[in-house]
Structure 1
Amino acid sequence: MKIDLSGKTALVTGATGELGRVIAHTLAECGADIALHYHSNEAKALELKGTIEALGRRAVAVKADITKQESIQALKQTVEASLGHVDIVVANAVVQYQWTSVLEQPAEDYTSQFESCVLQSVYLAKAFIPAMIEKKGGRFIGINTECSMQNFPGQSAYVAGKRGMDGVYRVLAKEVGAHQITVNQVAPGWTISERERTNGIAESDDYIQNVPLKRRGTDQEIANAVVFLASDLASFITGAYIPVSGGNVMPAI
């Protein structure tokens, strides 16, 4: 048994980011053609496009503002003109900001998280799910976070955005399930990425002491979960929030 995404097209938002690059590359390794969304790092997007094409897959790099509906609609038109119908959407992009306490966090940071977590997902759904309904199938995957369950000091804007996103995904899963479209979330823990491998992995004793597997996860392990949900192996999984955190957070029943 293996994951085969041949004949599928996947869109990854935030594809030039530390996690987005690995998700996009892993989807391509499994046979999918890839639409690479980026916000500003065109050079990295074009580099990744070349890497994916070297695997024998088609790829297109598209600049867009994921917090604006008209920009996502323009992205859709460009992607469909280059690669055709999108079968798999991975909403990975998020606005970065400086974390601080609720009392000190600027209001605009809450707005940015709402726009990049909740509204991005809504705009992507409006853009790409109608064609999935016509084809009677598709995969809609969001990158959430273990922070949504932790609610630690300093996380308020991020948690607010991601918990709002969680609500959208659960409702959407019920609304489009009859069309054999699955809607799921992957929630990474504190993840080791290429940046840390290059610059040095941060000390993590305080973190891993609470992780049952006693280590931090890797970007590849997050990407593996995404690819699984994108595949036919996950055809009967929808509405799920799946932590990939070594057991650091565990949704209860």
Structure 2
Amino acid sequence: MSRSVLVTGGNRGIGLAIARAFAEAGDKVAITYRSGEPPADLSELGVLAVRCDITDPEQVEQAYKEVEDKHGAVEVLVANAGVTRDQLLLRMSEEDFTSVVDTNLTGTFRVVKRAARGMLRARKGRIVLISSVVGLLGSAGQANYAASKAGLVGFARSLARELGSRNITVNVVAPGFVDTDMTRALTDEQRAAILGGVPLGRYAQPEEIAASVRFLSSEDAAYITGAVIPVDGGLGMGH
């Protein structure tokens, strides 16, 4: 059955892989993106691309109206959009901290709240938040990012209790290091140091994150809510 799926930050990296996975499975997929242009193959897959900065409540509302007009009420939401502004604590500015939290945590609050409106009426829904292994075990120079991603866990588990009686599940996927443009920009020494802490000894492929998201959005996962699923090659185990 084709569902209305929305993936925020779906124009590259993990979000793009998630959008493609749902579209290839036959769902009606929309993505939001803040800058740049989505890959051409998304339109070939029938994916609706909507420009939206999730730090702006009015843009979020307008994006939902466009998605609902084309695909109907959102039945599956994947809150993936996020940013980094890495800096050591004593060099981190107020803006470095608040801008990351406003996008990664407060922005997620905005898109989830808007999706929940239709899900509550329908008495069903799937919400998946994309956190990070960094939110579980921490990372020097990423206090803002780690705080925002850790906050998603408490947010999701609170909503799992709040929305569960309406057949709405809320779960978290916590990727480790993924083979994307961002990690490819690292030096060989940096990549080697990271892989030294990963028991499986390799980076994840974006499609592996997408597979976990699709599972949590499926009927097979109907009795899973409030869970944090690590897809990190064992890097964060125990957290």
Same fold per TM (> 0.5)? yes
1:206 aligned residue: 193
- Identity across the alignment (%): 34
TM-score (ref. length: structure 2): 0.93
1:158-207, CA deviations, whole angstroms, 9 ceiling, x for partnerless residues? 0111122222111111100111111011111110136767x899553322
**1:26 deviation in Å?**
0.6
* Contact 1:113/1:158, CA 8 A, preserved across alignment: yes
Letter aligned with residue 50 of structure 1: S
Moved over 3 A (4+): 194-197, 199-203
SS at match of 1:192: coil
SS at match of 1:128: helix
**What runs of 5+ residues in structure 1 fail to find an aligned partner?**
1-5, 54-58
1:235 to 1:145, Cα distance in 2 relative to 1, 3 A:
same
Q: 1:51 aligns with which of 44, 54, 57?
A: 44
1:103 equivalent in alignment to 2:90: yes
2:71 aligned residue: 83
* Contact 1:113/1:160, CA 8 A, preserved across alignment: no
Distance 1:251 1:71 in 2: 39
2:103 aligned residue: 116
Distance 1:194 1:225 in 2: 21
Distance 1:233 1:18 in 2: 26
Within a 5 Å distance, the mapping from 1:119-158 to structure 2 comes to 119-158=106-145
Distance 2:144 2:44 in 1: 35
Distance 1:74 1:48 in 2: 24
Letter aligned with residue 84 of structure 1: G
SS at match of 1:174: helix
Letter aligned with residue 7 of structure 2: V
1:250 equivalent in alignment to 2:223: no
Distance 1:20 1:29 in 2: 14
| Count of matched residue pairs | 238
2:80 aligned residue: 92
The alignment yields a C-alpha RMSD, in angstroms, of 1.9
1:180 equivalent in alignment to 2:167: yes
Distance 2:165 2:108 in 1: 20
